[in-house]
Amino acid sequence: MKVQIENTGPFEKKIFFEIPREVVSQEVESTYKALNRNLKLKGFRPGKVPRSILERYYKSQVENEVITKLIEDSYGKAVEENNLFPVAPPSVVDRTFEPGKDFTYTVTVEVKPEIAVEGYLGLEVEKPAVMVTDEEVESRLKALQETHAQIKPLEADRPVQEKDLVIVDFEGSLGGKPLEGWMVKDHLVEVGSQTLVGGLDRKLVGLPVGQNREIPLTLPDDYPRKELAGKDITVRVQVKELKEKILPALDDEFAKEVGDFQDLPELKERVRKNLQEQKEVQATQAAREKLLDLLREKHAFAIPQSLIDRQVENIMARTEVRLARQGVKMDTANLDNQKLRESLRPAAEKEVRSTLILEKVADKEEIIVNDEEMDQKLAQLAAQMNQRVEAVKSYYQKNDRLEDLRAMIREEKTLDFLLGRAKIKEGGSPPEEGK
C-alpha cells in the first residue's frame, strides 16, 4: 500500500492511498465467498451459487462492501503508522475502483493541532483563603433543624398568613379551558416562599380555610412552555388545612438524634469540619481555574472548528441533563438553541484549549491512569449515583465511554501535578458556601 500525506491547512491533511490490485482481488474474492456461504437462493444449495449469478445480482453490493473494508483498514493503518490524531471522521474526496486494478482514493481529515507546551511548572497561583465563621456554623445548624422539624395541624380559625404552611388544591385554566399539569391535589407549601410559579404562594395570604377562590395569575416570560409564557391565567384555589412547623430544640438530645454525637458541641464541631472540607474543595477548584487561565494565556494556538463544535454539543448535553433534573425538557424550554450554541462557543473553546494543553503536559510528564485508578473512579461515581459499581461500569462500556473517563481522570491528575508544583499564594476572597 502506498500512502502520501499532504498538509493543506493548519489542521487539515490530504491523504492519498493506492492499494495494490492483488489486495483488491483477494478482498473481492473473500467477499463473494462469504456471500455465497450465507446466501439462500432458490434452486441452489448453500455455497454452490455460480459466480456469474452472484455478479449479476450482487456486484454493486459486493463492490461497496469491498470499498468500505479497504478504506477502513488502510485509513486506520495509515493513521496509526503516521501518528495522526484525527478530530473528526475523514471525508472521501476522490476514489477509483475497478476489479483487477489498483484501488486509489483520497481523503481529507482534520487533526489535532501540533502544540508545544513550556513554562508550565512553578506558576504563581492565587488560592482563596478558607475560613469558617460561627455564623456559618449556626446557619448550617438551623438548616439541619429545619430538616428535622415536625409538621402538625394548626388549630386556628383565621385566614392564611405569611409563613404559614398550608395544604392546597389548585387548578389552572386559560380562557376557561383547563391547563395540562395544573391540577394539583394536597400540595404542601410555605406561604411566601416563592416556590410556586408566578408567586402563587404569596397570593394565598388572606384566603380563608375551606373556601374556593379564583386567583388571576400572570405566568413569567421564561415559563418552560413557550406557548404559555407571559400569559394571564386563572387559578382556582382551595386552602384545605393550616399546618405549623415545630422545630426541635438545639440541644444534646437533638445532636444524638441526627447522628452519632454525644452532645451539641460535638455536632457543632462536625458541622464546622464539614464546612471547612467543603471550602477547601472549593478553594482548590478555584486555584485550578486560575492555573488553567495562566496556561491558556501562555499557550496561544488555533483550534479546529470541529473540536469546538463537538464541545458545544457536549455542553448542550450537560445543559439538557441539568434541565431534566429540574423537570424541564430542552425542547419545551424557552430557549433559542442556535443562539444558545453561539453563546456557548467561547466556553467550549476554553475547555478544548485546556484539554489540549493538559494532554500535552501529561504526555511530556508521562502521567498515566492505571486500572486501579479507573476502578476507584467508577466506585466514586457509583456512590454518588447510589448505584452498583458493576452497573456504572457496564454503562460506560456499552456507550464506549471508558476511554473518555480515563482521559478525564488523566486531566485531573495532571492538574493536581501542576498545582502541586505551583507557587501557591493564599489570599483573595474565601469561596462562598455552596458556590
pLDDT of residue 42: 80
Average pLDDT over residues 171-192: 93
Would the pLDDT of 222 be above 90?
Answer: no
Question: In the chain, what percentage of residues exceed pLDDT 90?
Answer: 71
In the block, which residue shows the cell 495509515? 78
Grid cell for residue 253: 438530645
Grid cell for residue 89: 471522521
Does residue 174 contact residue 198 with C-beta atoms inside 8 Å?
no
Grid cell for residue 88: 473528526
Task: Read off the amino acid at residue 227.
Answer: E
Spatial CB neighbours of 67, under 8 Å, sequence gap ≥ 6: 95, 97, 103
Would the pLDDT of 435 be above 50?
Answer: no
Average pLDDT over residues 188-208: 91
Domain ranges for the chain: 2-110, 150-246, 255-426
The pLDDT tens digits for 1-40 are 999 999 998 899 999 999 999 999 999 999 999 998 888 8
Spatial CB neighbours of 233, under 8 Å, sequence gap ≥ 6: 172, 173, 174, 179, 182, 216, 217, 218, 219
What are φ and ψ of residue 197, in 5° steps?
-55, 135
Does residue 294 contact residue 125 with C-beta atoms inside 8 Å?
yes
Does residue 120 contact residue 365 with C-beta atoms inside 8 Å?
no
The pLDDT tens digits for 347-369 are 999 999 999 999 999 999 999 99
DSSP 318: H
pLDDT of residue 434: 46
Largest CA distance in the chain: 97
Kindly indicate whether the domain formed by 255-426 is annotated with CATH number 1.10.3120.10. yes
pLDDT of residue 319: 81
Does residue 51 contact residue 148 with C-beta atoms inside 8 Å?
no
Q: What is the rounded CA–CA span in Å between residue 57 and residue 161?
A: 83
The pLDDT tens digits for 35-84 are 988 888 888 887 888 989 999 999 999 999 999 999 999 999 999 999 99
| Distances, alpha carbon 243 to alpha carbons 59, 183, 202, 209, 349, in Å | 79, 22, 16, 11, 52
Q: What is the rounded CA–CA span in Å between residue 331 and residue 337?
A: 9
Would the pLDDT of 432 be above 70?
Answer: no
Listed residue (349, 270, 281, 274) closest to 314, CA to CA: 349
pLDDT of residue 181: 87
pLDDT of residue 44: 84
Grid cell for residue 359: 494532554
What is the reported pTM? 0.73
Residues linked to residue 152 through DSSP beta bridges, in sequence order: 244
Query: Could you tell me the pLDDT band of residue 200, with boundaries at 50, 70 and 90?
Result: very high
The pLDDT tens digits for 325-341 are 666 666 655 567 788 88
Determine which helix (DSSP H) or strand (DSSP E) holds 78, and give its type and residue range: helix 51-81
Average pLDDT over residues 196-207: 92
What is the domain class of 150-246 according to CATH? alpha beta
Q: What is the rounded CA–CA span in Å between residue 219 and residue 208?
A: 24
Rg (CA), the chain: 32
Averaged pLDDT of the chain: 90
From the number of C-beta atoms within 10 Å of its C-beta (0-12, 13-18, 19+), residue 250 rates as middle
Q: What is the rounded CA–CA span in Å between residue 45 and residue 375?
A: 52
Question: Superfamily assignment of 2-110 in CATH?
Answer: Trigger factor ribosome-binding domain (3.30.70.1050)
What are φ and ψ of residue 187, in 5° steps?
-95, 130
Residues linked to residue 215 through DSSP beta bridges, in sequence order: 235
pLDDT of residue 327: 66
pLDDT of residue 400: 87
The pLDDT tens digits for 116-174 are 999 999 999 999 999 999 999 999 999 999 899 998 998 878 999 998 899 999 999 99
Sign of the dihedral through C-alpha 311, 315, 321, 324: negative
pLDDT of residue 260: 85
DSSP 430: P
pLDDT of residue 238: 95
